[in-house]
Chains A and B, each alone.
Chain A
Amino acid sequence: MNKIYLWGVIITVLMLVVTYYTLVITAGDSGKDLSEILSGDIVNLLTVLAAMALVVITVFVVIKYVRQMQVDTADGELVDDSWDDIGEFRNPVPQGWAVIFLATMVWAAWYFTIGYPVNSYSQIGEYNEDTKVLNDKFTKDFADKMQEFSEEEKTEYMINMGESVFLSECKVCHGLSADGIDGKSADLNVWGSAKAIVDTINNGAKGLNYPMGDMPDRNGIMNANKDYAPITDLEIEIVSSYVANGMKGEGSDVFAGACSSCHGLDGKGMGGMSPNLASYGTAEFTVDVLNRGKKGFIGSMPAFNRLNATQKQAVGAYITSLTK
């Protein structure tokens, strides 16, 4: 076989392989198969097709001319001038080229005047349609799943979805393993457990923007039942387990004495004055944090209004699952 064809084949195959490979990487470990990537998004399909066309057309056309270099001979009538001995033939323009040039011009004129005249397309209109289609699809999928799933499957589904949100939205601050990256933000593997509450009582809490303001550190927390003596290590230990246990078991007396002035006897935050500790460590509490943002001792987290309700609930489920 002529070497030039071989080169053409090599280049075409190389670029096909390379392009196929981009699909493989894109799928990554998201569990999609390749046809799904192309069928799920028309833009992907068009891009891949266009990329193929680019390689094939260039290779094909260049080979055509290289063949002419190899087998044809140059001739024609020369023009009268020559510049520094460079001559010019009066050859006609290549027909294919001329026809396509003309065709593209006609097409362009058609496009502007008849096909899609000036204001007939709106990219925002297209966005609204696309977004609606995607949203509807996911809402429906979600509703279907919630119908057919058992409780257990539902929880698992939410946790997985939450993990996905966490990995794209939260991990820049909380780290891949949610450990808070050396204290740069909250360690969510601990958060929600008794240990984290011990920390909170020792150091206080701030930044959720409750009417009650900040929670003082341990020096500011007195036990009313003990004549307003500062809270002790033992009491902290007990009350923390109590709260982490969903306000059950030993410790209700310490809570009543030290915490209820702000969080209410039932721990529910006295109608929005302070956080509802009955939901501490659960998805609801996380949703509350995401709605408010959190300005902490080691940094601050913005409110996440751009997540929708399902996503917030899901990420809450995921975080709860980290400690449980």
Chain B
Amino acid sequence: MVDRPLEYDYTIAKLFMMNAIFVGIVGMFVGVLIAWQMAYPGLNTFLGEGLAEYTNFSRLRVLHTDSVIYGFVLSSVWSTWYFVGQRVLKVSMAESKTLMMIGYLHFWIYFAASAVIVVSLLMGITTSKEYAEFEWPLDLGITVIWLLWGASIAGLVGMRREKTLYVSIWYYVATFLAVAMLHLFNNLEVPTYFLSGGIGAWYHSVSMYSGTNDALVQWWFGHNAVAFVLTTPIVAIIYYFLPKESGQAIYSYKLSLLSFWGLMFVYLWAGGHHVLYSTVPDWVQTMGSIFSIVLILPSWGSAINMLLTMKGEWQQVASSPIIKFMILGSTFYMFSTLEGPIQAIKSVNAIAHFTDWIVGHVHDGALGWVGFTIVAAIYHMAPRFFKREIYSKSLMATQFWIQTLGIVLYFTSMWIAGITQGMMWRAHDEYGNLAYSFIDTVTVLHPYFTLRAVGGTLYLIGFIMFAYNIYKTTSAREIDESELQNASPMGA
């Protein structure tokens, strides 16, 4: 053991943080744009007819989902990894040239691949599989990036001075393993250029699976990609930043343990809830529904552990915006992990599937849980990166309320839109005919699409305030190391 505090090296963490904020703004801006396009389709040509091919809803939607998930969220996860990893394992990146090298490679290859992905999606190069739209050359790139992260994990863990792995590390490791497996199997595809003797687009491929099988593999992937990109790494984050920022000990090790292994075991079985009433075998669907219900408990376990960690600490919740973000984040985590199982009940899914209620569920999780937890983590890291206090606490508080209002508007409007549309599709009139033509069920949604767009715009405004606050933090009042124990220092 060393007796003086280690000098952690945050270079890579900082790079990923900057990228996260930048891509966050871009990805959410595109989200806001497509939200307005659904309310006002004229916006599909907002840069003129000539560019409509690149600015219409259908091209931009994938850009939104992939940039927020793989740009904003993954960058944030990696930023925290290069911060938390060093600290809870008690090793500094500076101790190993190789690890620094891996870190740089990890970031820059990722950065380059992201740029290629943006361009290729705008050009319409996609395999259509949700959240796995990339063609094989990019799949290979992603594999390399993933292996580099794996090397970083293996390196830091291998060199660790802290014998026992902290909960956050469990979740990072699980994220790494699961996504590796999912990515590999969902992307088994045959490049057509080589098998046809050099005809057509060189990057084109055809899926290894067809029809129902393809769907089953894709949603085994899709569901667990949600689990292991939008859930487990975020749990890893909150398990570090909430106790750290508040100075409280984790409420219960046993609860951490049972939640973790419960989640690992149950999650993988629940993917069937994305293909209910489809042509996959009935028993697989049933399995998806059943395990979704069981899944509530291990999910809530982590959230409850977080809430109980703050037991007796209400004054901290009331006074610290950072803690507010994490407590409300945990609440949204509970909300979406109860909403999901409810939507996974076959009869409810009969209405919910294909509608905006699912989109509402997605954003309860994405904006409330993922977004808020990441924002809190970055607010905690920034003073440590720059050795300065956070520029403005009141700006943080304002951001918190604006974004919260944004989420409330988002999910109430999508709740109305989704359930209404689902019921209208099913409605028969007194003559036994369908009561509504399809277009009736579209025009009725206009007010809710508008409301959602307003909510999304508020969330984006809050996020831009966040970016500004972090930017100003780089030149805010300097502080000394000793002020950095728990609660992050904030300027007025």
Is the CB of A105 closer than 8 A to any CB of chain B?
yes
Q: How near does chain A come to B82, taking the closest CB pair, in angstroms?
A: 14
Is the CB of A9 closer than 8 A to any CB of chain B?
no
Is the CB of A30 closer than 8 A to any CB of chain B?
yes
A104 to B436, CA, bound (A): 39
Q: Are B311 and A97 neighbours in the complex by a CB distance under 8 Å?
A: no
Give the size range of A's interface with the partner: 35 or more
Instruction: Identify whether the interface residues of A are mostly helix, strand, loop, or mixed.
Output: helix
A-B contact pairs, 11 of them (CB 8 A): A18-B416, A28-B435, A46-B347, A47-B347, A74-B249, A76-B252, A88-B250, A122-B282, A138-B432, A160-B431, A164-B429
Q: Are B431 and A84 neighbours in the complex by a CB distance under 8 Å?
A: no
> What 14 new A-B contacts, CB under 8 Å, besides A62-B331, A101-B298?
A32-B427, A37-B423, A43-B351, A48-B419, A69-B307, A69-B310, A71-B312, A72-B311, A72-B312, A88-B249, A88-B250, A90-B253, A112-B286, A121-B282
Interface centre among A21, A54, A84, A116 (most CB of B within 10 A): A84
Q: Are B313 and A50 neighbours in the complex by a CB distance under 8 Å?
A: no
Question: Which residue of chain B is the closest to A24 with respect to CB atoms?
Answer: B420
Q: How near does chain A come to B293, taking the closest CB pair, in angstroms?
A: 6
Contact with B along A56-76 (1 / 0, CB 8 A): 011001100110111111101
Enumerate the 6 nearest inter-chain pairs by beta-carbon distance, A residue then B residue, closest first: A138-B432, A87-B249, A101-B297, A65-B307, A73-B312, A91-B252
Q: Are A19 and B435 neighbours in the complex by a CB distance under 8 Å?
A: no
Query: CB within 8 A of B437: which of A30, A134, A169?
Result: A169
A142 to B432, CA, bound (A): 9
Contact with B along A20-49 (1 / 0, CB 8 A): 011101101011100001000111101110
A164 to B307, CA, bound (A): 53
A76 to B308, CA, bound (A): 12
Is the CB of B464 closer than 8 A to any CB of chain A?
no
Question: Which residue of chain B is the closest to A62 with respect to CB atoms?
Answer: B331
A297 to B338, CA, bound (A): 56
Contact with B along A289-321 (1 / 0, CB 8 A): 000000000000000000000010010000000
A81 to B287, CA, bound (A): 39
Contacts A44-B423, A108-B294; is A121 near B435 (CB within 8 Å)?
no
Interface segment out of the listed B144-152, B255-263, B391-399? B255-263
Interface residues of B (CB under 8 A from A): 87-88, 90, 162-164, 166, 240, 243-244, 248-256, 258, 262, 277, 282-283, 285-287, 290-291, 293-294, 296-298, 300-301, 304, 307-314, 317, 331, 334-335, 338-339, 342, 345, 347-348, 350-352, 412, 415-416, 419-420, 422-424, 426-437, 439-440, 444, 485
Is the CB of A147 closer than 8 A to any CB of chain B?
no
Question: Which residue of chain B is the closest to A70 with respect to CB atoms?
Answer: B314
Question: Which residue of chain A is the closest to B265 with respect to CB atoms?
Answer: A105
Q: List, in ascending order, chain A residues with CB within 8 A of B291's CB.
A: 108
Is the CB of A234 closer than 8 A to any CB of chain B?
no
Q: List, in ascending order, chain A residues with CB within 8 A of B339's CB.
A: 54
Q: List, in ascending order, chain A residues with CB within 8 A of B277's CB.
A: 123
Is the CB of A168 closer than 8 A to any CB of chain B?
yes
Query: CB within 8 A of A93: which of B254, B338, B422?
Result: B254
A69 to B310, CA, bound (A): 6
A88 to B239, CA, bound (A): 11
Q: Are B437 and A172 neighbours in the complex by a CB distance under 8 Å?
A: yes
Q: List, in ascending order, chain B residues with CB within 8 A of A23's CB.
A: 423
Q: How near does chain B come to A32, taking the closest CB pair, in angstroms?
A: 8
Is the CB of A94 closer than 8 A to any CB of chain B?
yes
A172 to B348, CA, bound (A): 30
Q: List, in ascending order, chain B residues with CB within 8 A of A135's CB.
A: 432
Q: Are B311 and A69 neighbours in the complex by a CB distance under 8 Å?
A: yes
A31 to B351, CA, bound (A): 21
Query: CB within 8 A of A22: which of B416, B426, B430, B437?
Result: B416
A249 to B435, CA, bound (A): 42
Q: How near does chain A come to B482, taking the closest CB pair, in angstroms?
A: 13
Is the CB of A100 closer than 8 A to any CB of chain B?
yes
Q: How near does chain B come to A284, taking the closest CB pair, in angstroms?
A: 20
Q: Are A86 and B244 neighbours in the complex by a CB distance under 8 Å?
A: yes
Q: Are B347 and A19 neighbours in the complex by a CB distance under 8 Å?
A: no
Q: How near does chain A come to B56, taking the closest CB pair, in angstroms?
A: 21
Q: Are B254 and A134 neighbours in the complex by a CB distance under 8 Å?
A: no
